[in-house]
Amino acid sequence: MDKNVRIAIIGGGPAGLSAGMYLEQAGYENYTIYERNGWVGGKCHSPEYKGRRYELGAIMGVPSYYAVHDVEEFCGITHDGPRLNRNYKDLKGNVVDPFDPKKHPLSAPRLLRMKSQIKKFGELLQTKYKGYDINGHRGVAQGRYDGYAVTPGREKIEGVNENLKDLALPFKDFCEKNGVELVQDVWIGPFTSFGYGYFDEIPAAYVLKYLDFQTTMNFVKVNLWTWKDGTQSIWEHLNDAIKHPALLNSDITKVERKDGKVFITVNGKVEEFDKLIVTAPLQYFGDYADIREDEKRYFDKIDYERYDVQGFLTEDDKAPEISYYIMENMVPERLGHLMVYYHRWPDLGADQMYVTYALRKHRDLKEIDYEESKKMVLADLETMGNPAKEVIEERSWYYFPHVFTEDYAAGWYDDVEAMQDKYDTFYAGEIMSFGDMDETVEYSRELVERFFK
């Protein structure tokens, strides 16, 4: 492609900003990033309270976040945040350890079986499901893999593997099919409580592309990255480091694609481009763009999670000393309840903001109303012995866009990938890979590599 091509990027989150970075590195400097908010970072959102930054959105990374590491290197920053640690509570608020057989003599045989299934699962993923973990979903429904391995060198690999079609199954069915149903006890922590839905509804492909074997083991060992000034600061640094920082407060009211050009009406003025990269939710693309029949047909199939967070303060003698997970609330029957509450600064007592996490949607159940879930979460905090005296931040996120098994298996991803550049438009961001920082950034890297040579 001509290096002077004029490229518009919609969205100043990890996907959009990193697309700018990778384009620049590939010699394409004629790009413009439009961000609707007055700040960058999207769902990496780290507001300040009493001089420290807290996480209302993304919290952590793992050592296999190679694409986020690209960004850190580009900006000259590193993951310098507080060490994460956690404990578990049961529904009565007692501290428990679901993975310690000494504390749960009755569950010891189950834990032993779980351990051996994890080992078997690791082997299956490397052999039967070779190629399962590469970024994005191209070819999976057809039993192929084509992309970059999750290794420091990110080697390009491609091949045929019919077994990959199983990845369209809900993760629960996928585990049962392979005789490793107990691994769900481990995978559920960084999946359901992180807002990504339930294993009986979400295709295994999403679960395993995010929680590939090495990433899951990093979660198990609490081998995690955080950032002192919050995950948002990664993207603020990136925005400062790229040649064309995002244009904030951009209100896009129209996108028109005709005669090989892209016309964008932003804050009332029409701007002309040659190519468009959309990292904003595709589900809403038709609200402002001349969406085509095929785009609409596919984008209408996207669903997303309702993931709510509340930043709360508590009394000195009621402050949690660590983050807590409540495993029994990570099932559809407990929709709307508190799954995790996060304690960020070990050196501060109650003089900090804690954050709660709840999910209130399952594909087969009635969605729980935001306020109703909030009440449930606050009541749960009381039961846990850490009541909120005041909620000072709250947010309901448009979270983890995805498609379900039937559309995944029917080739949604191959069809949408085949539409890349059809209307001088490229699709990136969470839906094209997965809703975490690294998958979205890695997808932007590969998009640039594939189409902007």
Ligand X SMILES: Cc1cc2nc3c(=O)[nH]c(=O)nc-3n(C[C@H](O)[C@H](O)[C@H](O)COP(=O)(O)OP(=O)(O)OC[C@H]3O[C@@H](n4cnc5c(N)ncnc54)[C@H](O)[C@@H]3O)c2cc1C
Binding site for ligand X (CB under 6 A): 10-16, 34-37, 42-44, 57-61, 194, 250, 252, 279-280, 307, 309, 397, 399, 429-430, 435-438, 440
Q: Round to whole Å and give the CA distance between 379 and 374.
A: 9
Is the Cβ of residue 28 or residue 54 nearer to ligand X in the bound state?
54
Q: Which helix (H) or strand (E) holds 356?
A: strand 354-359
DSSP label of 452: -
CB count, 10 Å around CB of 94?
10
User: Least distance to ligand X from the beta carbon of 374, Å?
Assistant: 15
Beta sheet of 354-359, edge-to-edge order: 95-96, 86-89, 323-325, 338-342, 354-359, 303-313, 390-402
Helix, strand, or coil here: 374?
helix
User: Least distance to ligand X from the beta carbon of 93, Å?
Assistant: 23
User: Least distance to ligand X from the beta carbon of 43, Å?
Assistant: 3
Is the Cβ of residue 169 or residue 448 nearer to ligand X in the bound state?
448
User: Least distance to ligand X from the beta carbon of 253, Å?
Assistant: 9
User: Least distance to ligand X from the beta carbon of 45, Å?
Assistant: 7
Give residue 58's identity as a one-letter amino acid code.
A
Q: Round to whole Å and give the CA distance between 191 and 189.
A: 5
Can you tell me which residue has the tokens 């592309």? 209
User: Least distance to ligand X from the beta carbon of 279, Å?
Assistant: 5
Closest CA to 10 of 1, 19, 23, 2: 19
Is the Cβ of residue 37 or residue 87 nearer to ligand X in the bound state?
37
Is the Cβ of residue 182 or residue 235 nearer to ligand X in the bound state?
235
197: left (phi over 0), alpha (psi -120 to 50) or beta: left
309: left (phi over 0), alpha (psi -120 to 50) or beta: beta
Distances (CA, A) of 102 to 77, 111, 114: 42, 11, 15
Do the bridges between strand 354-359 and strand 390-402 make them parallel or antiparallel, or are there none, so unpaired?
unpaired
User: Least distance to ligand X from the beta carbon of 102, Å?
Assistant: 30
Torsion on CA atoms 240, 242, 243, 244, rounded to nearest 10: -80
Partners of residue 397 on adjacent β-strands: 307
Is the Cβ of residue 291 or residue 309 nearer to ligand X in the bound state?
309
Is the Cβ of residue 58 or residue 140 nearer to ligand X in the bound state?
58
Is the Cβ of residue 21 or residue 169 nearer to ligand X in the bound state?
21
User: Least distance to ligand X from the beta carbon of 344, Å?
Assistant: 12
The pair of three-digit structure tokens given for residue 139, joined into one six-digit string = 């070819």
Is the Cβ of residue 180 or residue 416 nearer to ligand X in the bound state?
416
